Amino acid sequence: MAGSKTLTIIKPGAVTNEYIGPILARINEAGFHIAAMRLLRLNLTQAKNFYAVHKEKPFYESLISFMTSGPVVVAILEKKDAVKEYRKLIGHTDPNKAQPGTIRRMFAESMERNAVHGSDSDANAEIECDFFFSKSERFSNFDPVHF
Ligand code: IDP
Ligand code: MG
């Protein structure tokens, strides 16, 4: 269903700090359904492809190095208006500017090490979900045939 899903990554740092559980709790409390999930370590090619849009930015090399530094959790989250609702839940890219109670405000270490990724548009959510998950790995609440 269009507009109902987003991709999140619990980034290295948050995983290392044992924040997987607390972050998933916030996600569930906010009414998101976890439709797919995996723990993995991004290789260099995957990280560069995922963040290709930022390749001219001064922080790109450092971001790639950080994102490949350890395991991450990737997940597809479902809710009405998922992209917008999840961006609201995670807060501003810079944790110092994120509202109290947001995931980044609670769990980020810095602008780069900001705990989680969230897709920024429905089109990118589609691309990013396809980047990590095949159809058979998804268990959508909007497609209850899986249950
Ligand atoms: P977003 O994750 O809030 O969508 P983007 O601008 O798409 O923010 O940036 C992607 C990621 O790159 C951020 O989540 C953060 O990890 C990192 N990043 C963005 N801007 C900076 C910066 O100015 N310094 C260091 N890292 C940054
Ligand atoms: Mg972004």
Q: Return per-residue pLDDT of the chain as tens, 147 residues.
A: 568 999 999 999 999 999 999 999 999 999 999 999 999 999 999 999 999 999 999 999 999 999 999 999 999 999 999 999 999 999 999 999 999 999 999 999 999 999 999 999 999 999 999 999 999 999 999 876 655
**Rounded mean pLDDT of the chain?**
96
Q: How far is the CA of 60 from the centre of ligand 1 (A)?
A: 9
Interval 81-116: pLDDT, tens:
999 999 999 999 999 999 999 999 999 999 999 999
How far does the centroid of ligand 2 lie from the alpha carbon of residue 31, in Å? 22
> Mutate which of 59, 72, 86, 102 to test ligand 1's pocket (most atoms within 8 Å of Cβ)?
59
CA-proximal residue: ligand 1, atom 18 (nearest): 112
How many other C-beta atoms are found inside a 10 Å radius of the C-beta of residue 100? 7
* Nearest Cα to Cα of residue 122 among 83, 93, 78: 83
pLDDT reported for residue 54: 97
Query: Could you tell me the domains of the chain?
Result: 5-137 (3.30.70.141)
- What's the confidence (pLDDT) of residue 111? 98
pLDDT of residue 46: 98
Query: What whole-number distance in Å separates Cα of residue 60 and Cα of residue 125?
Result: 21
**Helix, strand, or coil here: 38?**
strand
124: which residues sit within 8 A by CB, 6+ positions away? none
Per-residue confidence (pLDDT) for residue 142, from 0 to 100:
84
Q: Where are the beta strands (DSSP E) in 16-128?
A: 33-40, 72-78, 116-118
Nearest CA to ligand 1 atom 9: 93
The structure's pTM equals: 0.96
Query: Within a 10 A sphere around the Cβ of 29, how many other Cβ atoms?
Result: 9
Q: Atom 15 (ligand 1): residue with closest C-alpha? A: 112
